[in-house]
């Protein structure tokens, strides 16, 4: 659909007609947060967790939450219902609103609220079956990667670095330890144990992070969270990415180095199957 209906500050309109003033602090300062909720068969997947993260992001940067949970769900449902695709990605963005340009918060804040939806773009079966190539790079982002901020310059540059190397993602390291990729969490598997970096300020806690914790518990896959060195990543049996669109995806090459046997491994297959079951039950 070329011009889907979107929600902006209280009204639905075609995307091409939705306009914000140039003095919006989202445009001027990147002063806002966002959220992305996958929709399968017109049902939101893990909406409670996504809304909880949205509320945490708003609170973390002191933007007053303009709606309660029920009102948010009603607004999202309106945008979702207006979209022709059954499987969608709902995008929500809230900024600190319009004000004279001055860095500190304005006295009166009226947040700008924008919601749109797009057909979900999942990894093709052909790519999934082979696994994907990534590149490594130093993490150049700020120290609040736990906030789902619209100030995404570091992530944009990391994604561009991947694109320029014909790779799916840039896997980032800070001081020699794994953080995450430009738009996904990263996991390693060694001797049957799945390990992710700690859920701290250096990574965004993906909604898939929590889902993977649940799937590991349900399927008796040992799981731990701790700092992971670069050598451990390159020496892993399997490396996985997780995100709303990648779901779980096997990494078979980083830079010039093959990971494990160079094909998606057994834990990947187990988690991907479990993920599809969770989707079907949503
Ligand atoms: C930087 C970053 N880390 C991790 C994730 C994974 O989060 P989720 O599982 O909620 O999609 C994303 C998703 O876009 C991301 O942008």
- Give the confidence band of 245 by pLDDT, cuts at 50, 70, 90: very high
Atom in ligand 1 nearest the alpha carbon of residue 208 = 9
**CATH at 146:** 3.20.10.10
Q: What pLDDT was estimated at residue 1?
A: 58
- Give the confidence band of 163 by pLDDT, cuts at 50, 70, 90: very high
28 & 137 share domain: no
96 & 197 share domain: no
142 & 243 share domain: yes
Is pLDDT above 70 for 149?
yes
- Give the confidence band of 164 by pLDDT, cuts at 50, 70, 90: very high
Burial degree of 186 (CB within 10 A; 0-12, 13-18, 19+): buried
Instruction: Please say which residue of 119, 135, 169 terminates a domain.
Output: 119
114 & 129 share domain: no
Per residue, what are the HEC states of 208-240? HHHHHHHHHHHCCCCEEECCCEHHHHHCCCEEE
Q: What pLDDT was estimated at residue 82?
A: 95
Atom in ligand 1 nearest the alpha carbon of residue 148 = 16
Mind listing the pLDDT tens digit for each residue in 82-118?
Answer: 999 999 999 999 999 999 999 999 999 999 999 999 9
> What's the mean per-residue pLDDT of the chain?
98
Whether residue 11 lies in the annotated active site: no
Region 156-179 average pLDDT: 98
Q: What pLDDT was estimated at residue 69?
A: 98
95 & 162 share domain: no
Q: Is 155 in the pocket of ligand 1 (CB under 6 A)?
A: yes
**CATH at 93:** 3.30.470.10
Instruction: Please say which residue of 119, 154, 170 terminates a domain.
Output: 119
Q: In total, how many domains does the chain have?
A: 2
Q: Whose CA is nearest to atom 3 of ligand 1?
A: 184
Q: Which tokens is 20 given? A: 């914000």
Q: What pLDDT was estimated at residue 282?
A: 86
Atom in ligand 1 nearest the alpha carbon of residue 211 = 9
Mind listing the pLDDT tens digit for each residue in 204-230?
Answer: 999 999 999 999 999 999 999 999 999
Instruction: Please say which residue of 119, 135, 159 terminates a domain.
Output: 119
The residue to mutate among 92, 93, 185, having the most atoms of ligand 1 within 8 angstroms of its beta carbon, is: 185
Enter the DSSP assignment of 50. H
Question: 109, 63 in Cβ contact below 8 A?
Answer: yes
Q: Which of 69, 108, 130, 148 is catalytic?
A: 148
Report the separation in Å between the CA atom of 84 and the middle of ligand 1, taken as the mean of its atom positions: 25
The whole-angstrom separation of Cα 66 and Cα 230 is 42
Q: Is 195 in the pocket of ligand 1 (CB under 6 A)?
A: no
59 & 162 share domain: no
Full domain range(s) for residue 107 = 5-119
Q: Whose CA is nearest to atom 7 of ligand 1?
A: 206
Region 158-163 average pLDDT: 98
């Amino acid at each position: 659909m070329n011009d889907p209906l979107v929600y902006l500050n209280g009204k639905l309109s075609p995307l091409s007609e939705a306009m914000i003033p140039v003095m919006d602090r989202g445009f001027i300062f990147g002063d806002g947060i966002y959220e992305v909720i996958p929709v399968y068969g017109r049902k939101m997947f893990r909406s409670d967790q996504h809304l909880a993260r949205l509320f945490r992001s708003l609170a973390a940067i002191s933007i007053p939450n303009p709606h309660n949970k029920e009102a948010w769900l009603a607004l999202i449902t309106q945008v979702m219902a207006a979209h022709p695709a059954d499987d969608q990605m709902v995008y929500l963005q809230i900024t600190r609103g319009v004000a004279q340009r001055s860095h500190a918060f304005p006295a009166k804040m009226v947040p700008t609220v924008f919601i749109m939806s797009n057909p979900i773009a999942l990894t093709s079966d052909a790519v999934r079956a082979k696994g994907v190539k990534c590149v490594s790079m130093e993490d150049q982002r700020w120290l609040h990667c736990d906030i789902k901020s619209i100030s995404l310059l570091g992530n944009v540059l990391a994604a561009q670095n991947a694109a320029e190397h014909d790779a799916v993602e840039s896997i980032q390291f800070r001081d020699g330890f794994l953080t995450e990729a430009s738009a996904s969490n990263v996991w390693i598997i060694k001797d049957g144990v799945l390990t992710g970096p700690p859920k701290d300020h250096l990574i965004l806690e993906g909604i898939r992070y929590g889902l993977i914790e649940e799937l590991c518990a349900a399927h008796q896959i040992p799981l731990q969270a701790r700092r992971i060195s670069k050598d451990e990543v390159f020496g892993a049996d399997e490396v996985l990415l997780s995100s709303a669109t990648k779901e779980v995806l096997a990494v078979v090459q980083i830079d010039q180095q093959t990971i494990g046997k160079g094909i998606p491994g057994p834990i990947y297959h187990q988690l991907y199957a479990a993920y599809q079951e969770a989707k079907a039950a949503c």
